[in-house]
Structure 1
Amino acid sequence: MGTYGYISIIAMLCYGFLLLMFLTAKKNKIINSFLVVLLGLLFWTGGSAFMRAQFWPGCEFWYQVSLLGILLLPYAYYRFILAFGGVRNGSVGRIYLVTMLICFWVNAQFGVFLESPKMIEKRGGQTFVYEINPSIIVFFIPAGLFLIHLFVILVRICKENPTMKVQYEPVMMGVLALFFGNAFLGIPFFSGFPIDILSGVVNVFLLFYALIRRRLFRLQMLASPSLCYGVGFLFSVLVFLNIMPFLQKILHMQPDNNITMYTLVFAIAFLITYAIFTYLWKLLIRSVFVREENHQAEKLRKFNSAISKTLDLQEILDRTIRVMKELMDVGNIYICMQKAPGEAYCGVASDQPLNDLAFSLEEENPMIQWLKDHEEPLVYRDFRYSVEYKSMWEEEKHHLDKKHTRYCAGLKDGDTLAGVILITADSGKKRLVYDEVELISNITSVASIAIKNARMYEKACIEARTDEMTGLLNRKYFHEVLHEEFEKNKDGSLALALINVDDFKLYNQLYGLKEGDLCLQHIAKIIQSSVGENGYAARYGGKEYAVLLPGYDLFSARNLVESIEKQISVMNNCRTDMKLKAITVSVGISAAPYAAKNVKELMENVDLAVYHVKHSGKNGIQVFDTMFRNANKNIVSTNRAHIYQEYESTIYALTAAIDAKDHYTFSHSTNVAYYATALATALGMNEDMVEIIRQAALLHDVGKIGIPEYVLNKADKLTDDEYETIKGHVESSIDIIRHLPSLDYVIPAVIGHHERYDGKGYPRRIAGEDIPLTARILCVADSFDAMTSKRCYKKAFPLNVAREKLLQDAGKQFDPDLVYKFVECLDNGTITLVKAEES
């Protein structure tokens, strides 16, 4: 058969191998057009090889097959190049196809353009000689014009999309290889050598590389079972044709002597060869491709499982970087995230802790815009040929080139680009592995979903923690932060300020609710910008703000609050329509551990400070800490002698109403006021708290006005209904006091004076230090007076008996610390027993 025939068979087998591969691939327009190219080349080389081997049905038939393949190749390349560039087939291609088929039919019938070659016997073998006539130009003119048209289309595609110029490079190199391979046939040096067949093989493998580079074909498809069997068969045919003469010589067998034995032996030999090559191919593919693919699949499975179980954004980014480093041979990996629409993408994570993250990509960056418009990752080397790259600033190009950028992938949150992954290569690594692009795409798609979930969770958490109108922390979350910071700052200082807007209801009436909302938002911005990262700001109530300052002492906290107060007072000065009501605030400040032992006490103290400012004329700042005020003359002390005088008439009016109905209740309230204020003084509480406790003691049973006298004065045991009626006096007291805004600061003490330290009291069944300190003091004083006073249903207990009962119930009904202090005061004479009045 000669060298030419064997080379033709090898080329044919290669084409058949590629044809089998692509028959197993997922079909699309480009793959289908490549299959047409392969069929054309297979017709050409197969027909030529079988013609020279003189296979059945004869040389004439295989010559026509080879000629048909050659004539159809330009059309096949036309379809492939247009599909590769995303251009629809035009009518010119169909005209050429019809023209070539007509010319082929005419030539097959009459041989007018190119006659069949004549076989000539020569020493050493046979050769085929073609007689070239001028009429062959009928084949060349349409083909030449068609190829020129194809070249024009190719130039237009590359001009419209410069990125395609890079993609077409291997395609054009393949076409040139095919062209020069056929052109070299006229050079004597290549006489008798199948340069045209070899150029066809080079051409088709360059096209194959272009498809892999375009990510239209995965090398892992080589492991498909049908391809393994097909490859085994092709290689078996090739090898068997070469070993058949040796088998005949070794076995001394000829087909004419014993056809049955000859067929059986050679069939067995072929099957053995086929089994060996199929097994070797499977072994090779599993070792090279399948094992690596299984490794990647396992890593991706673990990655998917890990990030699906977390809503921590930083953990998701770290795991994404880690899996990329494990599965790809790359340099550094950077992740840039956008905090809000319109902002730049700033570096937030990297594979190396010491990598510089102080860089950003602006949203207007052409590369960012490209990632927004495309789903697949960007190959930076290809991107350099695009129009988008040319429109980038030189500084941006330099920055990306300096990092040796290799890939750039987007992390999408729906239709928005939430983040960008930059993957770099070491300066010496120029090779691109195009399977990596699909791997990056798989990783980023999973990471994008996880990031979207994490952001939704983060958004839900922020919405649950912040006030919708002002953007500050809401009251519920502020209490959580307050408790956390109190625990963290037990050995330090923790300042708390409460900012209450004065007469805000009047402001709304003057300017409307919309302006009122804008006012609250403006105040919130002032507070937030003043506090910054040094503390926490919250909207504590409708017109009230809380500021928590870890590490701040009272001096620093007051200075900050004064700055806030000044900014609020002048915030509407530039508006002429806001002169009717200037915005002022009443502020209370307290700090732990100076003035509070726990969170509850800290809140009560700062709340009380605000009330004092309100009742002193508003528009002021009050620091709650007696020792601090006495030690520092620079802080102006407010004379409170007059503060409670305006309430005295109201308090005595209510107590007089109680006295008119039940004289015992009036005297009892007076006694409780004495015991409670004496205990508060012994505890070192300031004069403000002592006064609050006195007023709460006088009013704590005011709700008994609504209880029938027969129940109040009943000597026998109360029924369950009557007892429930008695218990209702707490809520009744609150209902009365609630309608007196000037006295509402006594409510915490009044509502909790029947709560028990063990949580078994009423009405709220709260326990321990959740009960306000003022209420715990009233509880001790109220119970002691109840035990030592004579009532219609019992005698008065002696002092020593009452004393022992207090100690017995310490930790149960009473705060043990308060009981021990109260007993101590009884023992040293600080508190004396009030003598009962004779009825």
Structure 2
Amino acid sequence: MGLLLVNSRGNLMHNSDTNLRRAIGAMVAVSALFVLDYVVSIRYGGPRAGSAVHIAIAALSMITAGILSTLVFALRTRRRLRALSDKLRMIAAGDYTARADISTIDEFGELGRAFNSMVGSLSRARDLLIEKANTDSVTGLANHRYFQERLAVEFSRAARYGSPLSLLMVDIDHFKLFNDMNGHPAGDHALREIATVIAEQVRDVDVAARYGGEEFAILLPETCAAQAEILGERIREAASNRVFEQANPQCARLTVSVGVGEYPSHCSDRASLLRAADGALYTAKMKGRNVVATFDGESGEDPKPDPHKLYVLLHATDLTTIEAIAAAIDAKHGYPSRHSAAIAQLAAEVGERMGLSQEERTSLYVAALLRDVGQIAIPDSVLEKSDALSAEEMGLVEEHPTLGHAIVQKSPYMAAMLPAILHHHERFDGTGYPEGLAGDQIPLAARIIAVVDAYQSMAVDRPYRGKLDACTAQAEIRRLSGTQFDPAVVTAFLAALSDEVKKAA
């Protein structure tokens, strides 16, 4: 009866606390009247004393008392269930601090304890999921996504309070060679070891993350460049002293190169802080690796894209931008205008003759444009040398495909181009570099670029020789077929050249 009432306007009022209280109040009043009438009758010996009416009144009073108790219990039950419902809504909203009342020893107390145990388990499971979502599965450091989140937070804080914020970019030197010599399990073990080195050196407030591949990023709040450089040197030294027991004894050690950037001395925004540290890292690579380098821009000046436009390259998605970058590299190395574009175009034509799909030819075109981007690490004095190169200088030259591969692999858009960039200086007989691959082990795109690049390079003046005429250059390509070049590629290349001559005529 207190659970469903009709008000003066005829509206149903379901399960309201107000209705329950009204019902209880009405029953209390009725019960009190019955009891008072019965007491008066007994006290003054009225004519109905002891009659069936008074017995009925007593029974009705007992029934009323029972109903009152039930309503009181219902009201308390409703209040507790509503409180529990509120806690559930808090949890649904993501607040896992909600806890139920466990002060009683009845069923509600037991329900509250079970509820709290469930919430505790959910909270721990959520924390574990968040930790896994923010952690790199190989190294145990923070992953790239979490690093970017923390970079935004820390940069905002540094800008608000005018405090310094430094960034270290750490890259493992010659890691691909290490992987190839020892296998990927040993490579993963080495990544974990380097991650351990980093974790041992940083503070609790620092953010150490695997930025991608063999590159790590370390965010250093309230740290100037000089302090960051000291930390970078500690990491470099600790890594160089680490022995990797799972590795081949001939390649059981690894070194790292470190770049340092700082806000506000080197930049004014997050993107330029990354550019500063990344540019410093490339400086460290060009200094011979196993080096810590700090961004050398003027104080307060944002780091511009370097002369080779690497930052732009790594974020480029259109051929026009990539062609412009390739042209800038050609100009620095003394090649004529559109040298790389001509190589790329001819390589794509050879690829078409050899049955490559449109997508494969596009990847081949871009790879041909960027084939020598790694030469930015070679000093001009070596590239422009007219005499024979020393063994050390030749070593620098032979490293440029590996460095080019390392540069381009940082781009999220150019994975398909990497094999051709890395292997375009391999020789068909297995005597090339960087890995000494032979025959069909060399990716087809790399074999195509090798032929076209050699031919086009013969047609321009170089410090160490004069240019060759077309007939002499083609004869040289034929002579090297089967040793330096793939014979099938040479055949397709010469046919493509013949078609070009016919079109020109």
Instruction: Give the alignment's TM-score, normalised by structure 2.
Output: 0.51
1:520 to 187, 191, 195: 191
Q: Which has the higher contact order (CA 8 A, sep 6+)?
A: 2
Match of 2:176 in 1: 505
Contact 2:172 2:215 survives alignment (8 Å): yes
Match of 1:447 in 2: 116
Contact 2:165 2:262 survives alignment (8 Å): yes
State the Cα deviation string for residues 365-411 of structure 1 (Å, max 9, x = none).
xxxxxxxxxxxxxxxxxxxxxxxxxxxxxxxxxxxxxxxxxxxxxxx
* One-letter amino acid of the counterpart of residue 291, structure 1: L
1:270 to 50, 55, 58: 55
Distance 1:708 1:533, change over 3 A: closer
Distance 1:274 1:544, change over 3 A: same
Match of 1:571 in 2: 242
- Corresponding residue SS for 2:370: helix
Match of 1:705 in 2: 342
- Corresponding residue SS for 2:96: helix
Deviation at 1:277, TM superposition (A): 1.8
**1:464 lines up with 2:133 in the alignment:** yes
2:148 to 479, 497, 515: 479
- Corresponding residue SS for 1:533: coil
Contact 1:501 1:544 survives alignment (8 Å): yes
* One-letter amino acid of the counterpart of residue 537, structure 1: A
Output the CA distance in 2 between the equivalents of 1:599 and 1:252: 95
Distance 1:267 1:462, change over 3 A: same
Output the CA distance in 2 between the equivalents of 1:615 and 1:252: 116
Match of 1:306 in 2: 90
1:178-197 mapped onto 2 (5 Å cutoff): none
The structure number with the bigger radius of gyration is 1
**1:741 lines up with 2:412 in the alignment:** no
State the Cα deviation string for residues 625-660 of structure 1 (Å, max 9, x = none).
2447xxxxxxxxxxxxxxx9xx9xxxxxxxxxxxxx
Deviation at 1:272, TM superposition (A): 2.4
Match of 1:280 in 2: 65
1:546 to 177, 193, 217: 217
Deviation at 1:274, TM superposition (A): 1.0
Output the CA distance in 1 between the equivalents of 2:92 and 2:295: 50
Distance 1:281 1:480, change over 3 A: closer
State the Cα deviation string for residues 438-482 of structure 1 (Å, max 9, x = none).
333322333333344444333333323221011112223322322
Contact 2:242 2:253 survives alignment (8 Å): no
**1:492 lines up with 2:163 in the alignment:** yes
Deviation at 1:250, TM superposition (A): 6.3
Deviation at 1:307, TM superposition (A): 1.9
1:530 to 194, 201, 208: 201
Distance 1:699 1:593, change over 3 A: farther
Output the CA distance in 1 between the equivalents of 2:56 and 2:105: 38
* One-letter amino acid of the counterpart of residue 616, structure 1: K
1:724-735 mapped onto 2 (5 Å cutoff): 732=365, 735=368
Distance 1:512 1:442, change over 3 A: same
- Corresponding residue SS for 1:587: strand
Deviation at 1:541, TM superposition (A): 1.9
Distance 1:252 1:284, change over 3 A: closer
- Corresponding residue SS for 1:540: strand
- Corresponding residue SS for 1:316: coil
Output the CA distance in 2 between the equivalents of 1:518 and 1:305: 45
Output the CA distance in 2 between the equivalents of 1:279 and 1:294: 21
**1:591 lines up with 2:262 in the alignment:** yes
- Corresponding residue SS for 2:204: helix
Output the CA distance in 2 between the equivalents of 1:696 and 1:549: 38
* One-letter amino acid of the counterpart of residue 80, structure 2: Q
**1:297 lines up with 2:77 in the alignment:** no
State the Cα deviation string for residues 68-103 of structure 1 (Å, max 9, x = none).
xxxxxxxxxxxxxxxxxxxxxxxxxxxxxxxxxxxx
* One-letter amino acid of the counterpart of residue 229, structure 2: R
* One-letter amino acid of the counterpart of residue 625, structure 1: D
Distance 1:568 1:540, change over 3 A: same
Deviation at 1:434, TM superposition (A): 2.6
* One-letter amino acid of the counterpart of residue 483, structure 1: A
Match of 1:606 in 2: 277
* One-letter amino acid of the counterpart of residue 127, structure 2: E
Q: 5+ residue gaps in structure 1?
A: 1-235, 254-264, 329-432, 629-643, 648-665, 674-691, 710-724, 753-839
Match of 1:12 in 2: none
Output the CA distance in 1 between the equivalents of 2:116 and 2:51: 58
Output the CA distance in 2 between the equivalents of 1:511 and 1:700: 43
Distance 1:496 1:277, change over 3 A: same
Output the CA distance in 1 between the equivalents of 2:48 and 2:175: 116
Output the CA distance in 1 between the equivalents of 2:372 and 2:284: 20
Contact 1:592 1:602 survives alignment (8 Å): yes
Contact 1:526 1:567 survives alignment (8 Å): yes
Deviation at 1:587, TM superposition (A): 1.1
State the Cα deviation string for residues 571-609 of structure 1 (Å, max 9, x = none).
218999746432111111111221222222222232222
Distance 1:503 1:573, change over 3 A: closer
Output the CA distance in 1 between the equivalents of 2:238 and 2:254: 10
Deviation at 1:539, TM superposition (A): 0.8
Distance 1:450 1:492, change over 3 A: same
* One-letter amino acid of the counterpart of residue 478, structure 1: F
Output the CA distance in 1 between the equivalents of 2:120 and 2:364: 51
1:219-238 mapped onto 2 (5 Å cutoff): none
Distance 1:693 1:479, change over 3 A: farther
Distance 1:699 1:604, change over 3 A: farther
Contact 1:695 1:746 survives alignment (8 Å): no
Contact 1:589 1:623 survives alignment (8 Å): yes
Deviation at 1:504, TM superposition (A): 1.8
Output the CA distance in 2 between the equivalents of 1:603 and 1:250: 101
Deviation at 1:554, TM superposition (A): 0.9
1:316-395 mapped onto 2 (5 Å cutoff): 316-317=96-97, 319-320=98-99, 323-324=100-101, 328=103
Distance 1:275 1:584, change over 3 A: same
* One-letter amino acid of the counterpart of residue 369, structure 2: I
Contact 1:707 1:729 survives alignment (8 Å): no
Contact 2:345 2:365 survives alignment (8 Å): no
Deviation at 1:316, TM superposition (A): 2.2
Output the CA distance in 1 between the equivalents of 2:235 and 2:173: 15
Contact 2:147 2:209 survives alignment (8 Å): yes
Deviation at 1:739, TM superposition (A): 5.5
- Corresponding residue SS for 1:609: helix
- Corresponding residue SS for 1:612: helix
Instruction: Give the alignment's TM-score, normalised by structure 1.
Output: 0.32
Contact 1:498 1:546 survives alignment (8 Å): yes
State the Cα deviation string for residues 784-814 of structure 1 (Å, max 9, x = none).
xxxxxxxxxxxxxxxxxxxxxxxxxxxxxxx
Deviation at 1:559, TM superposition (A): 0.9
Output the CA distance in 2 between the equivalents of 1:697 and 1:483: 42
Output the CA distance in 1 between the equivalents of 2:260 and 2:138: 25
Distance 1:476 1:738, change over 3 A: farther
- Corresponding residue SS for 2:202: helix
Output the CA distance in 1 between the equivalents of 2:221 and 2:281: 20
Percent identity (aligned): 23
Number of residue pairs the alignment of both structures matches = 311
Contact 1:590 1:606 survives alignment (8 Å): yes
